[in-house]
């Protein structure tokens, strides 16, 4: 499958589970302990209520976000739109559902992170969406969950929101509890970062990053994209890449100058293979095969 097609499928899947699936799940599943009681939706609520904005755990990279993610992330994507060129923002919006997150909060998304987690049972989604917005709003109908002051059940999607920096959005009660436990813990807590620490130790921060352990060509895969000194740079990292992938990567490096790349390097670091390519044309850099 071409990478662009894979991104489009990811975007469509994320839209489905963020907007449609939570409603069906909440309506058809038994009420869990976290929301056995109900409260009337807030009436005449402000579009911004500062008392609800309680999370203060800023994230500046996929590593930061993975350190707030419960153990078991299968894949994750991160985008810092404020740090991107306009052209890169346009591309990011074509491969990630940034516009849908804008609609979710009726504001402009400045950062977003999305991780898929193991399903608690077949057919039930489990994911974590973290985001920041400007201006900050809580312009949606909600109920405050019993015995809490700031855990909100959205009336439009049935999902859970906890506001702050970042905004937390989940559909699984256990995931919500696990994320809050990680954020509030004073001690070292196991997170999804532990699984990908080796992969991420081979890269620098970038405004677009993704990791995936559900690919056929390696045990783990990373891609990061950034703009530097007038060139776009894409870094891909593979843990235990298979032989056919390694062969293809070396073949692609041949003639890289003729293809318009100013940089093309392949470095082996133990079981990791790091490929860096760069050039002035973003789409040439992004369209180069990676698997």
Angle between helices 86-95 and 3-15 (to 10 degrees): 70
Give the count of beta carbons closer than 10 Å to the beta carbon of residue 182. 18
Residues 56 and 178 occupy one common structural domain = yes
The candidate with the shortest Cα–Cα distance to 203, out of 235, 241, 238, 240, is: 235
Residues 161 and 251 occupy one common structural domain = no
Helices (runs of H) and strands (runs of E) counted in the chain = 9, 13
Residue 270 falls in which region: left (phi positive, over 0), alpha (psi -120 to 50) or beta? left
209 within domain boundaries = no
199 within domain boundaries = no
User: Mapping DSSP to helix (H, G, I), strand (E, B) and coil, where does residue 112 land?
Assistant: strand
Which residue positions in the chain have pLDDT lower than 70?
1-46
Report the CATH number that the domain containing residue 234 is assigned in CATH. 3.30.200
Half-sphere exposure of 252 (CA within 13 A, CB side): 20
Residues 124 and 230 occupy one common structural domain = no
207 within domain boundaries = no
pTM of full prediction above 0.85: yes
Residues 58 and 169 occupy one common structural domain = yes
Strands (E), the chain: 53-56, 75-80, 108-116, 127-134, 142-144, 152-154, 160-165, 167-170, 208-212, 220-228, 231-239, 263-269, 272-279
Residues 222 and 146 occupy one common structural domain = no
Task: Say if residues 80 and 203 touch (Cβ distance below 8 Å).
Answer: no
Task: Say if residues 140 and 133 touch (Cβ distance below 8 Å).
Answer: no
Question: Could you tell me the residue range of the domain that residue 232 belongs to?
Answer: 215-287
pLDDT at 40: 40
pLDDT at 15: 55
201 within domain boundaries = no
Distances (CA, A) of 176 to 31, 169, 190, 244: 15, 8, 15, 40
pLDDT at 273: 98
pLDDT at 256: 87
Residues 121 and 239 occupy one common structural domain = no
The radius of gyration of the chain's CA atoms, rounded to the nearest angstrom, is: 20
Half-sphere exposure of 222 (CA within 13 A, CB side): 26
84 within domain boundaries = yes
Structural domains of the chain, count = 2
Residues 25 and 67 occupy one common structural domain = yes
202 within domain boundaries = no
């Amino acid at each position: 499958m071409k990478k662009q097609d894979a991104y489009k499928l990811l975007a469509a899947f994320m839209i489905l589970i963020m907007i449609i699936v939570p409603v069906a799940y909440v309506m058809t599943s038994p009420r869990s302990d976290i929301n056995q009681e109900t409260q009337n939706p807030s009436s005449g609520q402000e579009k911004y209520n500062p008392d609800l904005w309680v999370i203060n755990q800023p994230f500046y990279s996929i590593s930061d976000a993975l350190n707030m993610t419960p153990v078991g992330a299968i894949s994750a994507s991160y985008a810092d739109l404020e740090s991107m060129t306009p052209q890169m923002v346009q591309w990011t919006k074509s491969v990630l559902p940034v516009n849908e997150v804008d609609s979710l909060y009726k504001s402009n998304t400045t950062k977003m992170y999305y991780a898929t987690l193991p399903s608690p049972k077949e057919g039930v989604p489990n994911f974590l969406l973290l985001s920041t917005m400007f201006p900050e709003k809580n312009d949606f109908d909600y109920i405050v969950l019993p015995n809490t002051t700031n855990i909100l059940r959205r009336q439009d999607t049935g999902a859970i929101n906890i506001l702050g920096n970042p905004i937390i959005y989940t559909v699984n009660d256990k995931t919500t509890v696990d994320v809050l436990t990680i954020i509030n813990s004073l001690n070292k807590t196991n997170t999804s970062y532990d699984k990908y620490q080796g992969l991420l130790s081979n890269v620098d921060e970038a405004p677009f990053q993704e990791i995936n352990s559900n690919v056929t060509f390696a045990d783990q895969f990373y891609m990061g994209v950034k703009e530097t000194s007038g060139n776009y740079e894409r870094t891909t990292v593979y843990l235990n890449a298979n032989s056919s992938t390694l062969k293809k990567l070396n073949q692609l490096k041949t003639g890289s100058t003729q293809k318009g790349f100013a940089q093309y390097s392949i470095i082996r670091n133990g079981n990791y293979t790091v490929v860096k390519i760069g050039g002035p044309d973003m789409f040439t850099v992004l369209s180069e095969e990676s698997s």
